[in-house]
Each structure stands twice: as structure tokens, then as C-alpha cells.
Amino acid sequence: MKVIRLEDKFAQFTDHWNPRVIGELNDQHLKIARVQGEFIWHNHAAEDELFMVVKGQLLIDFRDGITAELNPGELLVVPRGTDHRPHSAAETWILMIEPKSTVNTGDQTASERTRTDLEQI
């Protein structure tokens, strides 16, 4: 067992929308990412997705016109099959918990933002 300091992990990279794996539990990955700007509309047919803001502010748009606003210490679970688009005006640090099988772009696997071979830090 090892204590994970999120600040130390975030200090290891600077790129945006490129998640890193920082831990595993029960066939789930703990992932972190720096995000800024707009991601793509997508959904995960088989997986729920948890977003937690560590630093900054994350907005997540949904097709029904609702936008969820997450601030530091807040989290949101996006149910499987729900179209969503995360975005952030300023750099934001997020933690995600999701099944190991989850691809960051969900059903949009042809996107240039798709990451399948995630670095473990």
C-alpha cells in the first residue's frame, strides 16, 4: 500500500485530455487528467463514469440542455449510455473512476483524442 499525493502525480505531466492511471481497485482504474477547452460529445454504452474536480472548474454538457458545474471537491457520476461533453475554460485537474475497459472517447473511438494505451504513473 502506498499513499498517493495527487499534487505529485499532476506535476508529472502538463498535456490536456490525456488521462493517466494512478491506481486500480476492483477492475476499476483511478485516472487523472489535466483538461482545458472542449472535449467531444460521446457516451459509454457499458460503463458509468465518475468525474471529480481536484482543482479548477469542469462543466459537463448533456443533450437535454443541462450543464453540470463541478468545482473542487465535487463529483458527478455520468450513467452509462448518456451523451456528454466535458469542457473547461481554464486548466482543471480531474480524477476519474471507471472500469478498466473504458475508452476516454466512448463511442467516438476514431477521434484524435482517443487514448487506449494509458500511462501508469
**What Cα–Cα distance (Å) separates residue 102 from each residue in 3, 16, 67, 75, 105?**
25, 18, 23, 18, 9
pLDDT value for 47: 93
Could you report the per-residue pLDDT of 32-61, keeping only the tens digit for each?
999 999 999 999 999 999 999 999 999 999
Domain CATH number, residue 93: 2.60.120.10
Question: Residue 4: in which H helix or E strand, if any?
Answer: none
Q: Has residue 118 been placed in a domain?
A: no
pTM of the model as a whole: 0.92
In a domain, 62, yes or no: yes
* Residue 119 counted as domain residue: no
